[in-house]
């Protein structure tokens, strides 16, 4: 059974993870636990319940904000003229050996569910992601993410009804 757990260096083998993107490997190996402790980002790993040391995929979340002008005009409706509170999907990666089997989608669903839960406690209007490259942007667009005004690689998913496509 697949489960998502909070990163724990005593259980999860960070060094063994390879998604094919050196920057995403390095982040998990060297920074994720440090950032988690410092309260600047949280990292969650996907593992098999029976073999939790082997990380199959991970994601990292942090609080952020987006200026109102970055949203499409239809998405600005009824929002105050302040920066919009969002959750940033700072990293998402699946181990190379596991790619193409639906784990990226499963992780993204977990992210959206977690953010919807957080949204009940704290204002979170949307989920934001900086896609590493055009292929990653294409992956997110499948689930309803939209381009921000300033950058076609910075995408957002409104967490109201818009989140349904990702679930
Ligand atoms: C991008 C990534 C997270 C996708 O995870 P995955 O487990 O391979 O993807 P899934 O198997 O869940 O695919 C879900 C759907 O998205 C599609 N998809 C997968 N990768 C895609 C891509 N790069 N572009 C467009 N569509 C993609 C799949 O075809 C699948 O659609 P289908 O069900 O109609 O076939 C993974 O390939 C990865 O970690 N890549 C290296 C790191 C990276 O680029 N991360 C993104 C950083 S912003």
CATH number at residue 162: 3.40.630.30
pLDDT of 162 over the 70 cut: no
Domain of residue 146 covers 2-166
Mutate to test the pocket of ligand 1, among 18, 21, 93, 104 (most ligand atoms within 8 A of CB): 104
Is 140 annotated as catalytic? Answer: yes
Kindly give, in sequence order, each residue whose CB lies less than 8 Å from that of residue 70, ignoring residues fewer than 6 positions away. 148, 149, 150, 154, 156
The count of domains in the chain is 1
Tens of pLDDT, residues 1-29: 999 999 999 999 999 999 999 999 999 99
How does the average pLDDT of the chain come out, rounded?
95
Instruction: Encode pLDDT of 60-95 as tens digits.
Output: 999 999 999 999 999 998 899 999 999 999 999 999
On the question of pLDDT at 161 being above 90, the answer is no
Q: How confident is the model at residue 133 (pLDDT cuts 50, 70, 90)?
A: very high
Sign for the CA dihedral angle at 3, 5, 11, 15 comes to: positive
Q: Pick the catalytic residue: 27, 58, 59, 140?
A: 140
Q: Which residue has the tokens 């839960």?
A: 117
Phi, psi of 93 (to 5 degrees): -155, 150
CB of residue 132 inside a 6 A radius of ligand 1: yes
Ligand 1, atom 33, residue with closest C-alpha: 102
Tell the burial category of 75 from Cβ atoms under 10 Å away from its Cβ (0-12, 13-18, 19+). Answer: middle
* pLDDT at residue number 27: 98
**Do residues 3 and 46 lie in contact, with contact meaning Cβ atoms separated by under 8 Å?**
yes
Q: What is the DSSP letter of 159?
A: S
pLDDT on residue 165: 78
């Amino acid at each position: 059974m697949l489960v998502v757990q909070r990163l724990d260096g005593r259980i999860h083998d960070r060094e063994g993870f390879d998604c094919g993107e050196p920057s995403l490997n390095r982040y998990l190996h060297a920074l994720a636990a440090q950032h988690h402790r410092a309260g600047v980002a949280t990292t969650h790993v996907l593992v098999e319940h029976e073999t939790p040391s082997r990380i199959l995929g991970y994601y990292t979340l942090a609080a952020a904000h987006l200026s109102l002008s970055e949203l499409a005009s239809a998405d600005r409706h009824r929002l105050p003229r302040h920066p919009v509170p969002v959750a940033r999907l700072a990293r998402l990666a699946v181990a190379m050996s596991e790619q193409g089997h639906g784990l990226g989608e499963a992780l993204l669903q977990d992210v959206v569910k977690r953010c919807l839960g957080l949204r009940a406690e704290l204002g979170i209007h949307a989920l934001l992601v900086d896609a590493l490259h055009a292929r990653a942007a294409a992956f997110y667009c499948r689930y309803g993410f939209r381009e921000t005004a300033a950058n076609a690689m910075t995408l957002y998913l409104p967490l109201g009804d818009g989140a349904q496509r990702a679930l």
